[in-house]
Amino acid sequence: MISIKSSREIELMRIAGEIVGKTHNYLKSYIKAGITTKKLDELAYNFIISQGATPSFKNYNGFPASICTSINEEVVHGIPDNRKLKDGDIISIDIGACYKGYHGDSAWSYPVGRISSDKEYLLKHTERALFVGLDQIKEGTKIGDIGYAISNYAENHNLGVVKELVGHGVGNHLHEEPDVPNYGFKHVGPTLKAGMVIAVEPMLNFGTANVYLLDDDWTVITADGEPSAHFEHTVVVTKDGYEILTKR
Ligand code: MG
Ligand code: MG
């Protein structure tokens, strides 16, 4: 069952989402060549705690860090470590925060210094694909409408749509029903109602859609080694649209 949140729950999720947005803004100034992903993780942990929240991902199914840091061909779930960012990298940072029991979840991909035109293209169109998906949302939209719009946009721009990982409902659990795939058919799937909260999160590859899991059992990478980008917002469905809870 897909839960409909009360106005009190939505208010708490607005705060959780705002903390996630602020954490992104805070980290952004540190994304430079030479910083380690472990340092970014520490900064995020301290910032989230300073806001009166806790990092949703820490220990989630055993995940060992507060944020996911996925560089270049890493799609999602990269584990922060002593690797240093280099000029020309792109890094996807996925952040979750829990405030009074309710979560916000948002990922964003950032350039490190000057990046290639291919990577610029990938970032620009993955961000756009997120909004193309979000713009489907209002009461009455079917989940398939979102995925159809995203995959249609991605395919028109020759980008690979990762299918193994999907968006999801959000609430007092980080991952709730329904699944929100980045592919699908129009007018198919569960129907959105006002008060539902979902995370939409296209993961698009510069090359083919194929991905695989590394031996660490977390990091997902592209099969062809081409870069991948990830943009995600948590939103609440309204009668005639949606409100972004993880605003920047
Ligand atoms: Mg996320
Ligand atoms: Mg998510």
Give the number of other CB atoms < 10 A from CB of residue 131: 16
pLDDT tens-digit series, residues 8-31: 999 999 999 999 999 999 999 999
User: How many angstroms separate the alpha carbon of residue 232 from the centre of ligand 1?
Assistant: 6
User: How many angstroms separate the alpha carbon of residue 172 from the centre of ligand 1?
Assistant: 15
What lies within 8 Å, CB to CB, of 124 at 6+ separation is none
Quote the pTM value: 0.97
- Considering every ligand atom shown, identify the ligand nearest to the alpha carbon of residue 170 and give its number: 2
User: How many angstroms separate the alpha carbon of residue 56 from the centre of ligand 2?
Assistant: 11
CA distance 82 to 219: 15
- Considering every ligand atom shown, identify the ligand nearest to the alpha carbon of residue 173 and give its number: 2
- Considering every ligand atom shown, identify the ligand nearest to the alpha carbon of residue 166 and give its number: 2
Please check the confidence at residue 56 and state whether its pLDDT lies above 90.
yes
What pLDDT, on a 0 to 100 scale, did the predictor assign at position 224? 97
Confidence grade of residue 248 (pLDDT, cut at 50, 70, 90): confident
Identify the architecture of domain 7-244 in CATH. Alpha-Beta Complex (3.90)
Confidence grade of residue 244 (pLDDT, cut at 50, 70, 90): very high
**Element at 49 (helix H, strand E):** helix 37-50
- Give the N- to C-terminal CA distance of the chain in Å, as an integer: 30
Give the number of other CB atoms < 10 A from CB of residue 226: 17
User: How many angstroms separate the alpha carbon of residue 173 from the centre of ligand 1?
Assistant: 13
What pLDDT, on a 0 to 100 scale, did the predictor assign at position 107? 98
